[in-house]
Amino acid sequence: VLLPCAAASAVVDLDSDSVDQSLKRQRAFIKFFAPWCGHCKRLAPIWEGLAEREELSGTTIARVDCTKNQALCTSFGVRAFPTLIFADKGGKELRKHTGGRD
C-alpha cells in the first residue's frame, strides 16, 4: 500500500537561533512573512520553486515567520509583508525588494 506523503520543502526556515549560522555558510535570499498575509500566501509556491532551481544552488532560499520571530524581523528592518532580502555570505544586506507586491 502506498501512502501519499508531503514532499520536504527545499526552503530553509530560519529563526534567531539559526540565521547567523546559515549566513556564515552561503548567501541567502530570505522572505520575511506573516502566515495571515495574502500576498505572502500567493508568493509561497513561487518561493518553493526558487529553492529548486539549479542555478540558485549556491544560495539558501529561506523564510522567516515574523509572527514567531519578531526581534529577528525588526533587526532586518522588516516593516511590511512580504519583505524580500538578498544577503551575502556573512549576512550583509545586498538588496531589499521595495517594489510592488503583485
DSSP string, the chain: -----PPPPSSEE--TTTHHHHHHHS-EEEEEE-TT-HHHHHHHHHHHHHHT-GGGTTSEEEEEETTT-HHHHHHTT--SSSEEEEE-TTS-EEEE--S---
Which tens digit of pLDDT belongs to each residue from 20-50?
A: 999 999 999 999 999 999 999 999 999 999 9
Q: Which three cell numbers stand for residue 94?
A: 545586498
Residue 95 is assigned to a structural domain of this protein: no
Residues constituting the chain:
102
CATH code for position 80: 3.40.30.10
pLDDT of 73 reads: 96
- Evaluate whether residue 5 is within a structural domain: no
Number of domains in the chain: 1
Most confident range (mean pLDDT) of 1-10, 46-55, 61-70, 81-90 is 61-70
* 7: in domain: no
Q: Which residue has the higher pLDDT, 47 or 92?
A: 47
**Average pLDDT estimate for 76-90:** 92
Residue 63 lies in a domain: yes
Residue 67 has pLDDT above 50, yes or no: yes
- The range of the structural domain enclosing residue 73 comes to 12-90
